Amino acid sequence: MTTRVSRVGLLVALLWLAVGGGLLPQATGRFFVLLTNDDGYDAPGLHALVEAFRSRAEIVVAAPATQQSGKGHSITTSAEPIFLQEHRQTDGALWYAIEAPPATCVRLAVESLLPRRPDLVISGINRGENLGLTVYLSGTVGAAREAAIVGLPAIAVSIRGNRSEDYAAAAAYVRELVEQLRQRQALRAGLFLNVNVPAGERRGVRVARLSLRATHEDYERRESPRGRVYFWSRWRPLEDDAEGTDVWAFARGYITLTPMTLDVTDVSALDALRSLQVQETTGAAR
């Protein structure tokens, strides 16, 4: 009996090592991650995620062919074709550079390109933080939100900084975060996280709410050499906000982790507005 138990324990250990010692295979096969972004297929942040997860999971990349920053939750409509390039990997997997905004890349991949539904969608690593209300403008967050809409867990990841070591450190944290979420069985359908990683030395991780302060943006009036008037956006990120917000924690060197939801209903206003309801009348019964 002891020998049999030992063999079972050895088999479990071998399976654990075979998948990298962290991410255990699911019933349908290896843990399957879809990677996307808004900085484009060749962006360094995306490559950092590929390297971090390559030995831990089955991965497929479906990302915009070109820069799509600031596109928010923009989608490709039925009036536009979606062109793509397929890139065959050494393991036989196909990765995709898609001429579409990030949200469309996710939906197209899930509905038409992947061999099965992914266990997780990770969007990033974006160059530049996405804190507070900028989550409504970010293509990085838009891609993760689209994944949540189709019932998949998703993580949007952004950093301040553009050094290779910054991307590598952020990718390593995301890998650790995914392992923790899996151990806690928290990778449920619709889980939607926004992660921001400061550059350089970090003080730790803070779970924080979104800052609701508006960022500063105005427009400088200019004139071209040919006399055409145009305007140039002058946007500045928030430098600080109230304690407990993602902006506050990020400004103090913390990685911020914000759970988000698709439901933006103002529940507090429901009762106040019920007096506006009108009961439709119907004609006399025949």
Compute the half-sphere exposure of residue 266: CA atoms within 13 Å on the CB side of its CA: 7
pLDDT at 283 (0 to 100) = 62
Domain 23-212+239-262: which topology? Stationary-phase Survival Protein Sure Homolog; Chain: A, (3.40.1210)
Residue with tokens 């140039």: 232
Instruction: Report the C-alpha gap between 95 and 115 in whole angstroms.
Output: 12
226-284 tens-digit pLDDT: 999 999 998 888 888 999 999 999 999 999 999 999 999 999 899 889 989 887 776 65
The backbone torsions φ and ψ at residue 247, rounded to the nearest 5 degrees and listed phi first, read -65, -45
Residues recorded for the chain: 286
On whether the pTM is more than 0.95, the answer is no
Handedness of CA 259, 24, 108, 86 (dihedral sign): positive
Predicted confidence at residue 228, as pLDDT, reads 96
- How much is the average pLDDT of 75-98? 92
CA–CA dist 81, 100 (Å, integer): 9
Give the pLDDT of residue 9: 44
Q: Given pLDDT bands bounded at 50, 70 and 90, which one contains residue 70?
A: confident
Helix H segments across the chain? 2-18, 44-53, 102-108, 139-149, 164-183, 246-251, 267-273
